Amino acid sequence: MGVIVTDLAAEPDVVDVLSTDHQEFLQLIEEIKLSVEAEARRDLADTLISELVRHAVAEEMYVYPAMRKHLPDGDEAVQHDTAEHKELEQTMKKLEAVDAGDGEFLALVGELETTLRDHVQDEESGQFPQLRARVPREELVEMAGKVEAAKKLAPTRPHPLAPNNQVFHKLVGPGVGLVDRLRDRLSGRSTA
Ligand SMILES: [Fe+2]
Ligand SMILES: [Fe+2]
């Protein structure tokens, strides 16, 4: 049996993983805005919602506790960031209930983008550099693994009975909550 040598310096840490997610979210938003077909907009928006909820839950499980512990203003920063997650989720809940052909749809995407850009800016220029400065690199790499694993706990598509499409959204209407279902499942509160 050989010795497994891992090059720690080459492995992504949690800040790399989360920052890549942020870029992907903003890119998805651009794609939604450029989509001509309502069906494509719906699909992209549902993918965005699903990925963003995963990201937020994983941050709250593994990253925000570390911020509380290691950052001088950790409690305050976590409170602020968690409130922004709630705000993002409120907008996503509206978005999941609106027809992608409706004019309000793109207005909500714009609202989501504004809140998200602000949130990403807070994390990437505020809290993440502080985490890197204060938490040993092995821990940040380990945290990256935990975040990746947490995001995989729920399937990418929310539920076999709840396909992400226009017809489904029309039939069930508001309140069936991809956001809520996914959050519950990721944080282990649901048996569904
Ligand atoms: Fe984030
Ligand atoms: Fe966040």
Task: Provide, rounded to the nearest whole percent, the portion of the chain with pLDDT above 90.
Answer: 69
pLDDT in tens, 9-41: 689 999 999 999 999 999 999 999 999 999 999
Question: Considering just the CA atoms, what is the radius of gyration of the chain in Å?
Answer: 18
Q: How far apart, in whole angstroms, are the C-alpha atoms of residue 115 and residue 99?
A: 21
Alpha-carbon gap, residue 151 to 157, rounded angstroms:
12
pLDDT for 129-154, tens place per residue?
Answer: 999 999 999 999 999 999 999 888 76
Whole-model pTM: value is 0.84
Do 182 and 151 meet the contact criterion of CB atoms below 8 Å apart?
no
Tokens found for residue 79: 């409170």
Ligand nearest to the CA of residue 64, numbered in listed order: 2
- CA of residue 98 to ligand 2 center, whole Å: 24
Distance 128 CA to ligand 1 centre (A): 9
Q: 149 alpha carbon to ligand 2 midpoint, in Å?
A: 17
**Nearest ligand atom owner, CA of 24:** 1
